[in-house]
Chain A
Amino acid sequence: SQELEQSPQSLIVQEGKNLTINCTSSKTLYGLYWYKQKYGEGLIFLMMLQKGGEEKSHEKITAKLDEKKQQSSLHITASQPSHAGIYLCGADSPNSGYALNFGKGTSLLVTP
């Protein structure tokens, strides 16, 4: 089965700093999805990427897919306290009927 490894596991950054979260798949990536989860709450959809090299941005968050490396990165520019939460990458594949398989998440804390 496909495994998604996220790094780092947790991150503490000062407000205004940039940061990057990585998600590496053990198998071929078809669709890669980024979600944000606040502690004890539901998952909020951020972005989805399909094609190798695809890059998408929403406000200060940019996600990129490197198909050859089977990896995606999520970059936050000029972090704010509102960015705090758990970032999850999820991947689907034809072998799982396109159900989402998630990584363990990266916990982000932004300090003033």
Chain B
Amino acid sequence: SQTIHQWPATLVQPVGSPLSLECTVEGTSNPNLYWYRQAAGRGLQLLFYSVGIGQISSEVPQNLSASRPQDRQFILSSKKLLLSDSGFYLCAWSEDRDRNEKLFFGSGTQLSVL
């Protein structure tokens, strides 16, 4: 069966520090991968998605970046965090078939930038 791992679960970082969040999927190959962010009490904002190794689509211009160095690994990074980067970050995956595949979410990372 397929599983998705996301870590860390909680992170507290000072403004201006770097960030690296990692997500891995097991039990499937060539998945579509996604990073969403959720501000406190708000909706799910799509940040990046990837349909293959090295293929990253950015949805919102900001100081975050994403990379997919391996088929089932998706990394969210920042060189310098801002206060506005605080939020609940969710990694998700879907089968690479068509637009109608459901998303499976990781357990999320609660990031607080102070």
Do A and B originate from a single complex? no
The residues of A with any CB-CB pair to B shorter than 8 Å are none
